[in-house]
Structure formats: structure tokens, C-alpha cells
Structure 1
Amino acid sequence: MYTVAGLPLHPLIVHAVVVLLPLATVGTLAAAALPAWRRALAIPTLLVALAGAVAVPLASSSGWRLRSTMGGGSPLVAEHAARASFLLPAAVLFVALLAAVVFADRRVPVAAGGHAGPAPASASRLAAGLAVAAAVVGVVVTALVVWIGHAGASAVWS
């Protein structure tokens, strides 16, 4: 088991997941609700989501190491691990949708002053639709983070 200053690595890495993925969801919701902000928020939000998604398998592998050093763990730990298996596919979908938002938004021309200019309706609708889809998936990802985290906290504190 890896430790940092005597603490198991798992809870430290988990905090990256718990902070970054919901933060990316907030940015995605803002970008979906306020199209004028989409161009400014899309890339930073994508990078935050990507960092959070990269932290998911790191948290998972460190969790398995922690579980093995603790003798297998309780049924609560098993529940936490089972729930965690849903997060990576959802986080990858979230990142993919955000990348599509960035790509689609770059197809919308920018007018003077940095605001989206007159665009083909299809490009603008595509960017907006992808932003809404990414926001919905982001909310699901955040709900999964809470659901998984609750199981982990129950395992630790029970």
C-alpha cells in the first residue's frame, strides 16, 4: 500500500475525483445555460473533467491496494467497490461529450467583441445540444460520485 505522510493514498486521490468531476459539471451547466460563456468555459471545463476522469482509475487501483492490505474488507467496502465500477465509463462519456462541445463550438464563428457571431443554425444547434447532453451526463457523474462516496464513507465510519 502506498502512503503519503502516513495516510493511505486512496483517500487522497479520491478527493481529486470528488472535487474535479463535480466542478466540471458546474462549468458544463454554465456553458449549457449561457451560450455566450460556452467558448470561454468549454476548454477549461474539459481539462478539469479530463483530470477528474484520469483520477478515477488511480483511485480505483489505490482502493484495491488498500482493500488488500486490510484483509479484504467488509461488505460495505465491497459495496463501495461495486458502485465505483460505474464511474469510469460515465466519466469517459462526460469527457467525450465535452470534447465534442469544444469541437462543435469552434465551428461557430466569432464576431467582434468575442461573442458568437452569425452562425449556420446547424452548427449553433449542434453545439447547444452537445452542451446540454454533456450537462446531463455531468449531473449523472456527480450523482455517481456522491453515491459511491457515501458507500465509502459508510465503510470507513461504520
Structure 2
Amino acid sequence: MTTAKICGLSTPATLDAAIRHGASHVGFVFFPASPRHVTFDKAAELAARVPGHVAKVGVFVDPEDEMLEQAIASAALDVLQLHKVTPARAAAIRARFGIELWVAVAVRTRGDLDGAHAFVGVADRILYDAKTPDSAALPGGMGLRFDWDLLDGFRHPLRWA
């Protein structure tokens, strides 16, 4: 089965369109600096529209446990997608919350891919994301791409998200 996650959904219309067109996963961003950020109340409202066969993913940047607790409770999340976390922090989150965990690895060079290996035994999936410039306003989600040719011949330690 093909999986496709549509992320950054913040309105009923965009959520409904993603589901109608076959998204297997829908993502809600819990990062206040993002223009696609949703509040816990908004996430609850949107999550209530999601049918059971579609997984709900919460997207976080170096989150505190309190934020994760509130997001999981409000949106009945099936998956946590973590950006800017260390393997130790990801392991602590997995141990505490026990739900599926995807970890983003920021990529600009072939050497950046090696960061995925540190999440074996911690994450269920790896998401390769373009590394943003140091001067960027956001740590990701900016529509940037990395050179996918970097993946040629790389042995992926985990399934892709």
C-alpha cells in the first residue's frame, strides 16, 4: 500500500481535500513560529473530521513533554514527527508516550544522511528533510529541496516517512 502524508493542514477545507484525494496520513503542525501552526483546540476540531483509516500525525520541533501530552490528547495523534531532537530525547519521548515515532534528519550533504543511523531502535521511520540555512526563519517546512541523488547507494537504516 502506498502511503502519503499531507502536512501543515489547518483548515477543514484543506483537510477534507487531502482525505478525499487519498492521503493515508494527515499532519498538524504544533510549532507556534510556523504559519501552519494549529492550536490544541483547532487540532481537536480538525481531528474529529479524520476517518479511522487515516492516521493523524503531530509535527513538532524540539517539543517539551507538556506540549506532546496536550497535542496527543487533543488530536488523538497516531504518530509523532519530531524535528531537531537528539536520539536520546527521541528515546525518552518514545518511552514516555509509546506511540509511533518519525524523526526528521536534516540533509544538505551525503554526510548528513549518516545521522539517520543514530535513530535505529528509537524511531519507527526517518524523514529526510532539506537542511535550512542558518539564517532561515524556520527550521523546516519552507519548501526547500535537497539533492535526492545523495540517496543513491545509501543504506537506509529505517523505513522512510
Bin the TM-score by the shorter chain.
under 0.3
Higher strand share: 2
The alignment's TM-score, normalised by the length of structure 2, stands at 0.22
Report which of the two structures shows the higher radius of gyration computed on alpha carbons.
1
